[in-house]
């Protein structure tokens, strides 16, 4: 039996979107391939409210995160972490020999604009990374306020991990002056895994040209120059199957309307938070709670593992807490094409299993 996924990626994918994956192949150096990739870029620019270029990577989002920290740091990277995915970005810097410092917040808390100001005002850094939506804790960072601080430092490249928020929350790349905004196909965009997606500013690319040892497969300059020279074709053979699905899914997203889509996510988040407060508690403060997933404090000391096993028998899956938060919390994702009705259905089943009613 298929389990309906309420986990923060991979998420449920619509049948018609899945079917697009079986579109017959085309040559990746054909005009059709150029058109497909150009169309995808045009649509993604709308989703990200940007005129910056779009780069696709046949890797998951982590590939672009690793490429970014490597390609855009010349002096030193300031890596802000509010959980596992922020920590991972720091590990990527270290393992690539990129000089970096880690600025950690307590689990469940945000990166404050003050922390960013304090770090950048030292003038030690030329790259900053922020996790927009930390999937391990269900916390969403105040990206607007953070961007106001970063804008005061024009020599700093601003990289944001929007892997679990893009497509579910409004991220206005140009307004926020984000240089590199990274996401993955399998989260709020509602596709199977296998594509990394990002926006990249021209000034970031110009900066990267002066950085040595950018690597090869995930070298932003090579990706950028190739799509410019070859009409949106990539250096290596890309994941065309996913591109067919992405092109189609972006039509669906734009047809729904971006504001409608973001409102639907807000509705699902608010409903889940209220439910959590009624029976358990929220792990994050409401004002910094994520729009795409809710992390619930396990105040009733239930076995999350057993709950998930029972849910599995009924055709649903949620996520246990991440890392140290396992069993202490559990996570319900409400992203991509899930609806309020889906969320109500799931929460009803949980109430039944736990005899909460
Ligand atoms: C899932 C996730 C990642 C990793 O993305 P992959 O596509 O699995 O490489 C990074 N950051 C956040 C916030 C995530 O949720």
Kindly give the distance from the C-alpha atom of residue 110 to the centroid of ligand 1, in angstroms, as a whole number: 18
Q: Are 258 and 289 in contact (CB under 8 A)?
A: no
* CB 320 within 8 Å of CB 330: yes
The token duo for 92 is 């990527």
Ligand 1 near 161 CB (within 6 A):
yes
Q: Does domain 4-9+257-354 have CATH number 3.30.300.130?
A: no
Point out the residues of the chain with pLDDT beneath 50. none
Measuring CA to CA, how many Å separate 250 from each of 21, 55, 149? 14, 15, 32
Does ligand 1 have an atom closer than 6 angstroms to the CB of 9?
A: yes
- Phi first, then psi: what are they for 144, rounded to 5°? -65, -50
Residue 357 has what pLDDT? 82
Which CATH entry fits the domain spanning 24-254: 3.40.640.10, 3.50.50.60, 3.90.660.10, 3.20.20.210? 3.40.640.10
Protein residue whose Cα sits closest to atom 2 of ligand 1 = 163
188 CA → ligand 1 middle, Å: 11
Residues facing 331 on adjacent strands:
295, 319
pTM of the model: 0.98
Task: Write down the pLDDT at residue 4.
Answer: 98
**pLDDT reported for residue 29:** 97
Whether 135 lines ligand 1, by a CB cut-off of 6 Å, is yes
85 lines ligand 1 (CB under 6 A): yes
Using CA atoms, how far residue 233 sits from 89, 194, 230, in Å, is: 28, 17, 5
What residues does each domain of the chain span?
A: 4-9+257-354, 24-254
Q: Mutate which of 163, 183, 333 to test ligand 1's pocket (most atoms within 8 Å of Cβ)?
A: 163
Q: How far is the CA of 125 from the centre of ligand 1 (A)?
A: 24
The answer, yes or no, to whether any atom of ligand 1 lies below 6 A from the CB of 61, is: yes
């Amino acid at each position: 039996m298929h389990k309906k996924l309420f986990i923060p990626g991979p998420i449920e994918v619509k049948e018609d979107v899945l079917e697009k994956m079986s579109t017959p192949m085309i040559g990746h150096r054909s005009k059709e391939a150029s058109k497909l990739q150009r169309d995808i870029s045009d649509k993604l620019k709308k989703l990200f409210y940007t005129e910056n270029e779009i780069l696709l990577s046949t890797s998951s989002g982590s590939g672009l995160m690793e490429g970014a920290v490597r390609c855009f740091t010349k002096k030193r990277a300031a890596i802000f972490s509010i959980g596992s995915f922020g920590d991972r970005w720091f590990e990527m810097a270290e393992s690539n020999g990129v000089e970096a410092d880690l600025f950690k917040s307590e689990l469940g808390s945000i990166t404050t604009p003050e922390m960013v100001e304090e770090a950048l005002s030292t003038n030690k850094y030329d790259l900053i990374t922020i996790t927009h939506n930390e999937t391990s804790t269900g916390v969403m960072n105040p990206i607007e306020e953070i961007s106001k601080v970063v804008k005061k430092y024009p020599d700093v490249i601003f990289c944001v991990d929007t892997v679990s928020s893009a497509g579910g929350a409004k991220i206005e790349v140009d307004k926020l002056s984000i240089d590199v905004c990274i996401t993955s196909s399998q989260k709020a965009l509602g596709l199977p895994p296998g594509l990394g997606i990002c926006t990249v500013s021209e000034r970031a690319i110009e900066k990267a040209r002066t950085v040595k040892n950018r690597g090869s497969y995930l070298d932003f300059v090579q990706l950028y120059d190739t799509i410019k020279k070859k009409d949106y074709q990539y250096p290596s053979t890309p994941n065309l199957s996913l591109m067919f699905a992405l092109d189609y899914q972006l039509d669906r997203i734009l047809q729904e309307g971006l504001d409608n889509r973001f409102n639907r996510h807000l509705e699902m988040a608010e409903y889940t938070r209220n439910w959590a407060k009624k029976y358990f508690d929220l792990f994050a403060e409401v004002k910094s709670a994520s729009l795409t997933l809710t992390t619930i404090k396990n105040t009733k000391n239930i076995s999350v593992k057993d709950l998930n096993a029972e849910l599995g028998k009924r055709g649903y899956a949620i996520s246990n807490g991440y890392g140290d938060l396992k069993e202490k919390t559990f996570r319900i994702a409400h992203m991509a094409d899930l609806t309020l009705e889906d969320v109500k259905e799931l929460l009803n089943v949980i109430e039944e299993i736990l005899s909460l009613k």
